[in-house]
Chain A
Amino acid sequence: MSAASSTTRLSAPGLLRHAVLLATAALVLIPFVWMVSLSIKPPGEIFRTGFSFWPHQFYGFENYAKAMTEAPLPRYMLNGVIVCTLIVLLQILVCAPAAYALAKLDFPGRGLLFGMVLVALILPHEVLALPLFVLGYKLGILNTYAALIFPYVVSPFGIFLFRQFFKTIPDDVVHAARLDGLNELAIVWKVMLPMAVPAIIAFAIFSVVSHWNSLFWPLIAVRDQALMPPPLGIMAFRNEEAGNDYGPLMAAATIVVAPLVIAFLAAQTWFVEGMTGGAVK
């Protein structure tokens, strides 16, 4: 009887735990809720004292229409999809063999190379902006998709993450694969990567989120409107002569954030499955 009641009634520590979790969740979520709320309000209501989520006068259509038309937001979103997809694919293509070599192959200088990966891991990407800009200029790729993609293809984080994961795969699996006749690259693609699905998912989330939201480097690398990524769509509503146009600005921000949120929620159960289903000894 006591066991049954303890599952329905929360104990004091349980209540405290939930209170802390709820407070944290609220802290994270409130700005987003506010953003969505502002995106459906007319300009007059935005600065009214007192807060209500639903506006007195629904102004959503106007704000979202303006957000979609004022700046070429659909184009920016498409650019975001193209750039992020290519970045993730190329990153996996480059990082997985590098990580495999660092985790499973024995060669002189391996420790040094891994040390360099760690150093690269702590360098913020902004530090490299100017050298990369000059390099991009010399190669003549500025103001193209290539300029947005290539600087991110070699990801120290990806190499590090994959290397750590590959380390946990027993050497015997690699040995068995060699005896079965796979060459080293085939081992990476056919054995290591399929076993590292949780790591790939985690890495893909990090990569897509950070590059979808990236603003700094695209501002430097491209000038053509047709190449700009989503966050620049939000920029279009700032610094106008008439001051900031908050309604459409928030609408644009909502549109930019939405794909990530929807994608994450839709794939959530699958992520969890991937994390546990991969745990085959």
Chain B
Amino acid sequence: MSISLSAITKSFGKNSVLKEISLDIADGEFLTLLGPSGCGKSTLLRILAGLELQSSGTVSIGGRTVDGVRPKRRDVAMVFQSYALYPHMTVAENMALPLRMRGLNAWQRLPLVGRLLPGTRIAKRQIEEEVRRTADALSIGPLLDRKPGQLSGGQRQRVALGRAMVRQPTVFLMDEPLSNLDAKLRVQMRAEIKELHSRLGVTFVYVTHDQSEAMTLSNRVAVMLDGELLQVAPPHEIYADPDDRRVAEFIGSPKINMLAGTVRERGRIDAAGTTLSAVLDMPVGTLVAVGIRPEAFHLTHHAGAGSFAGTVRLVEHMGSDLFVHLDVRGQGEPLIARLLAERAPHVTIGQTLHLAADLDRVLLFDEAGRRIRTTREGRGASVARLREMA
């Protein structure tokens, strides 16, 4: 089912948590809401589920406006960060509950009377089969008689997934489902969620603060900050072609290098003791922020225009890559460059190094943090570049 959010706002008292969020999610899409904690992404998800009410704006699911429709009638299923399993019920009972609430009427659910009513036995057997099938698909079949307290974190996570899957919803909502797992399990479950999405083919809306989850899982990522939707785009575009300085700074690890720059004559930019050539239609003296991703640097031997000179403060060996922290005069924070280990074998602390940046990968932002697109590289150019790389 497609989802459409239009001009959603939410405030608690004077505190505005969501500011005019509009977002369209296509049928079968995997969309991730990415942002630091407290940015309103979970609130947005709860509004989508109907667990919280927006202050204004409309939510529609599958073309039907669902404002004021109770959560159970929205045909969405949700997986929670804390799993939110019922501790007093077995795994089977946990997974069967949503089916029981839908498939059986109030009389049929009664412990003794229900058994006597017509149709109960068949309905119950169907529910049991459905639970069993889902449990087997998630390989938690042997755990059906256990209680959540007897399960490990990863197993509880699967049960929570199973409880959401079992009633075959048209929309899956996931609120940081992996953040209580250890690193290894997280990577494994990430792959399983991805596989689940392609198998079920239904719409997934996934909330996370972890950019690697967002980048690996999604068709599109929606970056949120302070209740604002900054950019919605496919993962590679979010990374290589951010619309906003905050997006550029949030995505990418190590963080993008941000240098203070000034526009000189003929569109050149002075930054961190060097001059970068760019083609800019901006008045001389305009202040800009120059963003350079760590991997957009390469070693160069000649000093001068276009290269940053500095002393090496720290070298981090990451196997195939080196992270080199470079103290550059006139620049508060060190520049971080990601260099291929084989290209820079002899970098030592205290050494003077010259780094040049790939000019078509330099990102410029104005003082308000908006992206300045240079005439030389448009949106298409950088995306094409990345496609080439892939």
Contacts and interface: CB of A to CB of B under 8 A. Distances in A.
Given A195-B87, A195-B88, A280-B147, A179 B82 contact: no
A172 B84 contact: yes
Contacts of A93: none
Contacts of A181: 72, 98, 101-102
B84 A194 contact: no
Report the contact-size class of chain A (Cβ under 8 Å from the partner).
Answer: 10 to 19
B107 interface: no
Given A280-B147, A280-B148, A176 B78 contact: yes
Given A170-B82, A172-B82, A194-B88, A179 B148 contact: no
Interface of B: 46, 49, 51, 70-72, 76-78, 80-89, 97-98, 101-102, 147-149, 163
Nearest to B164: A179
Contacts, number: 62
A178 interface: yes
Interface in A138-185: 170, 172-173, 175-182
A31 B314 CA distance: 77
Nearest to B180: A281
B104 to A, nearest CB: 11
Closest 3 CB pairs of A and B: A181-B101, A280-B87, A280-B149
Given A172-B83, A175-B84, A182-B72, 15 more contacts: A172-B80, A175-B71, A175-B78, A176-B84, A176-B85, A177-B86, A178-B51, A179-B72, A180-B98, A181-B101, A181-B102, A191-B86, A195-B87, A195-B88, A280-B147
6 contacts: A175-B46, A178-B51, A178-B72, A179-B77, A179-B98, A180-B163
A173 B84 contact: yes
Nearest to A277: B149
Identify which of A180, A197, A278 gathers the most chain B CB atoms within 10 Å of its CB. Answer: A180
A175 B71 CA distance: 9
Identify which of A173, A179, A197 gathers the most chain B CB atoms within 10 Å of its CB. Answer: A179
B80 A182 contact: no
- DSSP majority for the A interface? helix
Contacts of B163: 176, 180
A173 B86 contact: yes
Contacts of A182: 72, 97, 101
B86 A178 contact: no
A175 B51 contact: yes
Contacts of B70: 178
A224 to B, nearest CB: 37
Contact of B78 (A173, A179, A194): A179
B86 A175 contact: no
Nearest to A178: B71
Contacts of B98: 179-181
Interface in A181-220: 181-182, 191, 194-195, 197
Given A191-B86, A280-B87, A179 B76 contact: yes
A176 B80 contact: yes
Identify which of A170, A191, A194, A281 gathers the most chain B CB atoms within 10 Å of its CB. Answer: A281
B101 A180 contact: yes
A21 B86 CA distance: 40
Contacts of A175: 46, 49, 51, 71, 78, 80, 84
Contacts of A173: 82, 84, 86
Identify which of A173, A181, A195, A278 gathers the most chain B CB atoms within 10 Å of its CB. Answer: A181
Contact of B97 (A170, A180, A194, A195): A180
Nearest to B88: A194
A177 B82 CA distance: 14
Contacts of A170: 82, 84
A219 B316 CA distance: 83
A105 to B, nearest CB: 12
Nearest to A193: B88
A281 B97 CA distance: 19
A152 B325 CA distance: 72
